[in-house]
Structure 1
Amino acid sequence: MASTPREPRKDGEATRMRILEAAGELFAASGYAETSNKAVAAKAEVDLASINYHFGSRNGLYLAVLDEARRRFLDISDLQRIILGEQPATEKLRALIELVVHKASQRRNNWHLRVLAAEILAPSPHGQAHLQAVAPLRLALLKGLFSEITSIAPEHPALIRCILCVTAPWAMMLIGPRGASGALHEILGMPADDVAAHLYSFALAGLRESSRLYSQGMQP
């Protein structure tokens, strides 16, 4: 007699997300090395077998946390949706900056920002390679956008410099230190629309100047 295939448990995804949230908070607070599956299980109120079932191992759980953190931070689908859209290139840049600023201005204690910051500052054995898996696609999308704005050839070194100058503040806002004082603290307390507008106008002015220099055969 053929056995009837088992249906997936309806609460399986809810359990997986509960584990992911608990692990994210613990990894953000204590780091990869100091966070055990036992601690995650206790916080998520599940048994250890549930972690192994959904993630395979502590490393698998950590990589899943990084995936979720990256998705909440600036998912590749966000870049594709904006950069591959129909609006002018300068409006795409504005949309990206607004997205980043509004994400950074949301709850400042979001664990996903702290997990990414910790991974960048103190890399885990497999985390960096995992995060870098989509880096070539992300860079290709940004090169296309910035080349369209500046007319600088995608392979020209100046274009990478332009990308770095524009996106460095994004990284600082999203994964920079969350202290009780300092410039970043003040900026995050300002209206998000004002910050986004300032970053956009500042970035666009720099890109236009780089474009002017490039068109005249000078070094941007």
Structure 2
Amino acid sequence: MSATPREPRKDGEATRQRILQAAGELFAAVGYAEASNKAVAAKADVDLASINYHFGSRNGLYLAVLDEARRRFLDIADLQRIVLGEQPATEKLRALVELVVHKAAQSRDNWHLRVLAAEILAPSPHGQAHLQAERPMKLSLLKTLFSEITAIPVDDPALTRCILCVTAPWAMLLIGPRGASGALHEILDMPADAVCTHLYHFALAGLQATGQHHARQQGL
């Protein structure tokens, strides 16, 4: 006689989210190495078996936390939606800058950005490889957008340099506020629209100047 399939507990997703939240807060506060499953279970008010049931292992839990943090900051779906849209390239750039700035401001006081910053500054055994899995697609999308603005072919190394120059301030909004004070905190206290406008015009001017320089080099 076959066993009757056990129905999933109705509170299963709520428990999973509670564990994810507790783990995110602990990983942000003390880092991957110091946040044990026992501490996470105590903070989430669950037993250790619940962590293994929902995430498989401590490493699985950490990767799920990184996924949630990355989704809150800049999900690949957000980038695809903007870059592959129908609006002019300059409007796409503006939309992307606005998305990054507003997400950085919204996430300033929660664990999501702090977890990502901690992983970047002090990589864990598995976190970097997990975060880098989407990197080729993100680079391809950014090259596509910047190529539209500069008229530089997508396979030209100049576009890789453009990505570094344009996205470095975005990375600083992510990494800088972690345990620090000063200019970055001052910027995050400014009106988001003002920050967006400044970063957009700065990036656009740099991209356009690079495109013009490339055209002169090619004799166009």
Secondary structure of the corresponding residue to residue 216 of structure 1? helix
Structure-to-structure mapping, 1:110-129, within 5 angstroms: 110-129=110-129
Asked if the contact 2:162–2:207 (Cα under 8 Å) also holds between the matched residues in 1, the reply is: yes
Structure-to-structure mapping, 1:57-72, within 5 angstroms: 57-72=57-72
CA distance in 2, matches of 1:214, 1:101: 29
**1:49 equivalenced with 2:56 (yes/no):** no
Secondary structure of the corresponding residue to residue 155 of structure 1? coil
Distance apart, 1:2 and its partner CA: 4.1
Distance apart, 1:107 and its partner CA: 4.5
AA of the residue aligned to 1:210: T
Secondary structure of the corresponding residue to residue 82 of structure 1? helix
CA distance in 1, matches of 2:165, 2:99: 18
Query: Which residue in 2 is equivalent to 1:23?
Result: 23
Question: What is the total number of aligned residue pairs between the two structures?
Answer: 218
Moved over 4 A (4+): none
Distance apart, 1:217 and its partner CA: 1.0
**1:211 equivalenced with 2:211 (yes/no):** yes
CA distance in 2, matches of 1:33, 1:205: 43
Which deviates the most, 90-99 or 6-15? 6-15
Unmatched 5+ stretches in structure 2: none
Query: Which residue in 1 is equivalent to 2:161?
Result: 161
Name the Cα RMSD after superposition: 1.2
AA of the residue aligned to 2:84: L
AA of the residue aligned to 1:137: M
CA distance in 1, matches of 2:102, 2:152: 29
**1:34 equivalenced with 2:34 (yes/no):** yes
Asked if the contact 2:107–2:113 (Cα under 8 Å) also holds between the matched residues in 1, the reply is: no
CA distance in 2, matches of 1:106, 1:197: 18
AA of the residue aligned to 1:95: A
**1:139 equivalenced with 2:139 (yes/no):** yes
Distance apart, 1:58 and its partner CA: 0.7
Instruction: Encode CA deviations 1:34-75: one digit per residue, 9 max, x unaligned.
Output: 010000000000000000100111111111111111111100
Could you tell me the TM-score, scaled by structure 1's length?
Answer: 0.96
CA distance in 2, matches of 1:182, 1:2: 65
Query: Which residue in 2 is equivalent to 1:98?
Result: 98
Instruction: Encode CA deviations 1:175-202: one digit per residue, 9 max, x unaligned.
Output: 2234563110110000000100111011
Secondary structure of the corresponding residue to residue 217 of structure 2? coil
Which deviates the most, 98-107 or 206-215? 98-107
Query: Which residue in 1 is equivalent to 2:176?
Result: 176
Asked if the contact 1:179–1:185 (Cα under 8 Å) also holds between the matched residues in 2, the reply is: no
AA of the residue aligned to 1:167: T
Query: Which residue in 1 is equivalent to 2:148?
Result: 148
CA distance in 2, matches of 1:167, 1:134: 16
Distance apart, 1:109 and its partner CA: 2.0
AA of the residue aligned to 1:212: Q
Asked if the contact 2:93–2:200 (Cα under 8 Å) also holds between the matched residues in 1, the reply is: yes
Could you tell me the TM-score, scaled by structure 2's length?
Answer: 0.96
Distance apart, 1:157 and its partner CA: 1.2
CA distance in 1, matches of 2:178, 2:119: 15
AA of the residue aligned to 2:81: R
